[in-house]
Amino acid sequence: MAGEPGCGKTIFTIHFIYQGVLDNEKSIYVTTEESRESIINQASQFNMDFEKAIEEKKLIIIDALMGREDRWSLQSLDIEVLVGKIIEAKKELGYGRARVAIDSISAFWLDRPAMARRYSYYVKKVLSKWNFTTIAVSQYAITTSEAFGWGIEHIADGIIRFRRSIRSGELKRYVLIEKMRQTNHNRYLNEIDIVPGKGLVILGPVERRKEDLSLPRDVFKKIIDTKKKSDVEIP
């Protein structure tokens, strides 16, 4: 899952984990950009009681940001330590179906992006053996329009892309399923909203616009100007 900041990635991830709690799956949330307390507070704003789930041993939140000394914290962003801690958490919760969310996995290779593909492959290979369904949040690289790092999107079984734009002075958020192996998935860009007490809500597919079928105005103007210039230069 990839997208710019403020698109709704973390809220979607919270939904994913809480549904696991409701379905009696062993659920693990890894947070690298917010504290454990922040994730619990966000979930509570959408009537998802992470605190109760933790008390009932249905959920473990691994805090990879604050560097605390408690059992469910990481002191460094090491991918092998992360995987080991996730497996330890599953053993603590018990065997059976499990889901894990890593928000975000990009933090583990920020200083060495060339390792992204190797690390993400390692995470997928090991956790799949432990019967995990995994969502990994990857930061959006504005320069390439790809997930941060090389090769991550090829390794993933699915790609959920979050986007945002300003329309008539208002922030709009969108989601698009770009890839989902062995699944006849929805292929339309859908507008979403974040609603207090509910969380992420899908408003419906975005209507096809003229801009989707034509060149941007500035590009079209450059083509016309270039053609006019070439016509003048012809003897």
User: Which of the pair, 37 or 209, is modelled with greater confidence?
Assistant: 37
pLDDT at 171: 93
Distance from the Cα of residue 113 to its chain's centroid: 17
Q: Is 35:62 a contact under the CB 8 Å cutoff?
A: no
Given this model, what pLDDT does residue 112 score? Answer: 78
What value does the CA radius of gyration of the chain take, rounded to a whole number of Å?
21
Tens digit of each residue's pLDDT (9 = 90 or more) over 163-209: 999 888 999 999 999 999 999 999 999 999 999 999 999 999 998 65
Q: Which pLDDT tens digit goes with each residue over 114-166? A: 788 888 999 999 999 998 999 999 876 555 555 555 557 778 899 999 999 98
For the chain, percent of residues with pLDDT exceeding 70: 84
Q: What is the mean pLDDT of residues 66-88?
A: 94
| Residue range 67-77: mean pLDDT, rounded | 92
Q: Is the pLDDT of residue 100 over 50?
A: yes
Q: Count CB-CB contacts under 10 A for residue 209.
A: 8
pLDDT at 234: 47
Give residue for tokens 């992204």.
116
Structure token pair of residue 13: 């991830």
| Helix locations, the chain, DSSP H | 9-22, 36-45, 50-55, 79-93, 116-129, 152-155, 210-213, 217-233
Q: Hey, where are the domains in the chain?
A: 2-207
Query: Which of 49, 143, 64, 157 is CA-nearest to residue 106?
Result: 64
- The answer to whether the CB of 34 falls within 8 A of the CB of 10 is yes
Q: Which residue has the tokens 């990009």?
A: 106
Does position 24 have pLDDT exceeding 70, yes or no?
A: yes
Candidate from 42-51, 97-106, 135-144 with smallest mean pLDDT: 135-144
Q: How confident is the model at residue 213 (pLDDT cuts 50, 70, 90)?
A: very low
**Mean per-residue pLDDT for 203-229?**
67
Residue partners of 196: CB distance under 8 A and separation at least 6: 45, 46
Three-state SS at 233: helix
What CATH number labels 2-207? Answer: 3.40.50.300
Cα dihedral 49, 21, 105, 9 in deg (nearest 10): -60
Tell me phi and psi for residue 88, to 5 degrees: -60, -40
Per-residue pLDDT at 230: 63
The larger pLDDT score, comparing residue 3 to residue 198, is at 198
Q: Tell me what pLDDT residue 47 has.
A: 97
Distance CA 18, CA 230 (A): 61
